[in-house]
Amino acid sequence: MAHQATPSSQKALMMELKSLQEQPVEGFRITLVEESDLYNWEVAIFGPPNTLYEGGYFKNGDVCISILHPPVDDPQSGELPSERWNPTQNVRTILLSVISLLNEPNTFSPANVDASVMFRKWRDSKGKDKEYAEIIRKQVLSTAAEAERDGVKVPTTLAEYCVQTRVPSQDSSSDLLYDDLYDDDMEEEDEEEDESEMESVGEAGGISFLEEGGTSTRLYDNQDDSGNEDS
């Protein structure tokens, strides 16, 4: 899907990226495909321990999540508008929704109908129907090579899975980009604060300004160090 780059969207995405790097969501590895492109993220999901997905390293695939659907009234979908996308959602909430699908998939509105049928058979048979489990284990084993190529150690225990580590940037370009995005705003805020402070000092200290030939001259009323006016 094409995206339209705007300063506001870049700032929002940079803030989310830094937040996710400093306070990661357990079970995910998040990086930028290109350090200069905030609209192209690479997200890898670690299979949760004690599930069929344990040891998996998943980077591709399609998901069907209510919060990614447009907030329209569609009775046939079985979803309420309040369950769909709204401005309070962000990358973090989307990631949490994705990981929850691995623990408790929604079989009422599946993206893959065949997988949903196999999952229900496996669940209802309490594991006796092994078709679903065997397919998942094959997929998990097939991800090992990609994890090795990426230099990633996939967590296989709850202790490893729950450890939240910051993923360092490959270089400092992301920090520079972040600084560049906010320098202008910070300068404007500083200028506004300086002007406000000057107005306050002018009122309290009796500072007035006179324009003489296009230049500004400051005139100070006489005051002693205690702040009391001379009599």
CA distances from 93 to 25, 66, 145 (A): 10, 12, 29
Hey, which bits of the chain come out as E strands? 28-32, 41-46, 57-58, 208-212, 215-219
Burial profile 90-116: b = 16 or more Cβ within 10 angstroms, e = fewer: ebeebbeebbeebeebeeeebeeeeeb
In this structure, what DSSP letter does residue 206 have? T
Rounded to 5 degrees, what angle do the CA atoms 139, 142, 143 make? 95
Catalytic residue among 5, 64, 80, 204: 64
Q: Give 28-44 as a DSSP string.
A: EEEEESSTT-TT-EEEE
Q: Can you tell me the distance from the alpha carbon of 179 to that of 188, in angstroms, rounded to the nearest whole number?
A: 14
- CA gap 156, 125 in Å, rounded: 26
Question: Which is nearest to 165 in space by CA: 21, 16, 47, 17?
Answer: 21
> Among 120, 111, 122, 139, which Cα is nearest to 54's?
139
Query: Can 64 be counted among the known catalytic residues?
Result: yes
Query: Which residues are annotated as catalytic?
Result: 64
